[in-house]
Amino acid sequence: MSLLQKGSARLLAKRPPVPRYCISVPTRPASSQASSPAASNARTLLYAAVFTASAGLFTIYYLDSRSALHRYVLTPAIRGLFDAETGHKLAVKALKYGIAAKDQVEDDASIQGEIWGQAVNNPVGVAAGFDKDGEAIDGLFDLGFSWVEIGSVTPKPQPGNPKPRVFRLEEDQAIINRYGFPSQGHAFVLSRLKERLPQFFTESKPASLRPGDLLAVNLGKNKDSPADSIDDFVAGVKSFGPLSDVLVINVSSPNTPGLRGLQNKDHLERLLAGVTKARDELEPSSLTSRRPKLVLKLAPDLEEDQLIDIADVVQQAKIDGVIVSNTTIQRPKHLVNANKQEIGGLSGPPVKAYSLKALKTLRQHLPESIPLIGCGGISTGADALEFAKAGASLVQIYTSFGYDGVGTCRRIKDELVAELKKEGKSWNEVVTSAVKQLSPVPSPLNEEIKKGEDAVSQLVAEANYLKNLLEEATENVTGSEAKTPEAESVSKPSESVELAEVQASVVA
């Protein structure tokens, strides 16, 4: 062993052993130890203040529907973590319980809409299918929609089609669904609508309970009802008429067997006559002081001659408006996602061309007095303006709302304001111009024929009234004066001759 190694060994031998787990802690001066509780309290208060301020700022940011957080963080996270139907249900519950964002901005005057002579705050609504059972009505209005359409609602509760039944096509920004009208039924949804009503109200108000907004109920039929039966729709009119601004007759879902067959002219005439009669028999609502408007919702897959027939039936039945359109059963060749093979109705940008084509056809065959509501593939302000130029008074969104989240309505409205500024027009000016240009010009001959038909109907009614008076007078005379059989045989033919003469003069 070298001298250096021996010296090192001696030094180590003399050094006292150190415990393996002993940690040396330096002592503080007494003055420092005495001041530590005060410093600790100050730090705690500072942290609490920072946390409270941060939480408050985050809450303000979160509750504003314009926040990029919703479109680029929360909504994609939900899509990544949950399947389409579960994500849909979570969104409805968030809106139901008031924990979703709200539209904090007042609508620009340039996007004020109008339908049936009534002003609406803006032209953007949410289509049926999102809030099927009327759970999130006020949450949806809080997002800035001017038209909230709940349903479809069926008379009896039904579960809908087996799961899975909703599929995302993310590369195409589209959805395929085959829900099949899952519904909690008329009674349950009706109770929800009644819960919204104020306990006392002294003046009439819209069923939305918000000035400038409309509440619509989309009526469907049960899967086990006869295919050609109109009873489910008539029941819906009677149930929801007093608590809605608009009732939508949905004969266009591809997911209920036989339902689209009601779009055929013969079936549609009977259906629309039945629901119109049921609506007209309702007493004016104690809430709105009027009867609801009736609107028909169509598929985008109809041929031009079918749409022309439907336009004729809509006019004859005095339906108030048409929504164009529901989902499509067509599959454009440019679809990318593998889910394109799933059975069901396709919605989103791929359906836009079909909806626009059907809307333009209907606008060319319906008078200006019957408004159209555009729906199908609307995801930007430019899309909404395109539908306005095709003659749509209002528009609805669905799939873009699912992909972009709670800020979608506000974003589309802001984009629409910018598009209208480029045009130098308001929404109503664009719509009015398009409707006048595209709607058929009323024929003077048709107007005269219509006036003549109304006049004949009035004269026939008056003739029947006179006939009843004549019969009553005859009965009175018969009761006071006994007539011989010969007199009766003479008087009755003379009365028949007089009545025939009156009817003949009316027809002439």
Residue 253 burial class via C-beta count within 10 angstroms: exposed 0-12, middle 13-18, buried 19 and up? buried
pLDDT tens figures, 212-231: 999 999 999 999 999 899 99
Q: Is residue 121 part of a domain?
A: yes
Q: Name the residue type at position 97.
A: Y
Q: Is residue 272 part of a domain?
A: yes
- pLDDT reported for residue 429: 98
Q: Is residue 58 part of a domain?
A: no
- pLDDT reported for residue 486: 46
Is 289 a residue of the active site?
no
Phi-psi region of 475 (alpha: psi -120 to 50; beta: other; left: phi over 0): alpha
Enclosing domain of residue 410: 103-196+204-439
Q: Is residue 5 part of a domain?
A: no
List the pLDDT tens digit at each of the 508 positions of the chain.
554 455 555 545 555 555 554 445 455 554 445 457 777 887 787 777 777 767 776 677 678 899 999 999 999 999 999 999 999 999 999 999 999 999 999 999 999 999 999 999 999 999 999 999 999 999 999 999 999 999 999 999 999 999 999 999 999 999 999 999 999 999 999 999 999 999 887 788 999 999 999 999 999 999 999 989 999 999 999 999 999 999 999 999 998 888 898 899 999 999 999 999 999 999 999 999 999 999 999 999 999 999 999 999 999 999 999 999 999 999 999 999 999 999 999 999 999 999 999 999 999 999 999 999 999 999 999 999 999 999 999 999 999 999 999 999 999 999 999 999 999 999 999 999 999 999 998 766 555 555 665 666 667 666 777 777 777 777 776 665 554 444 444 444 444 444 444 344 433 4
Q: Is residue 325 part of a domain?
A: yes
Residue 145 burial class via C-beta count within 10 angstroms: exposed 0-12, middle 13-18, buried 19 and up? buried
- pLDDT reported for residue 449: 54
Q: Is residue 57 part of a domain?
A: no
Please count the other Cβ atoms lying within 10 Å of the Cβ belonging to residue 34: 10
Q: Looking at 253, 325, 379, 400, which residue is catalytic?
A: 253
Among candidate residues 113, 170, 105, the one with its CA nearest the CA of residue 146: 113
pTM of the model: 0.80
Q: Is residue 470 part of a domain?
A: no
Retrieve residue 200's tokens: 């006392």
- pLDDT reported for residue 9: 55
Count of structural domains within the chain: 1
Decide: 357 and 408 in contact? Cβ < 8 Å.
Answer: no
Q: Is residue 280 part of a domain?
A: yes
- pLDDT reported for residue 503: 44
Q: Which CATH number does the domain housing residue 343 bear?
A: 3.20.20.70
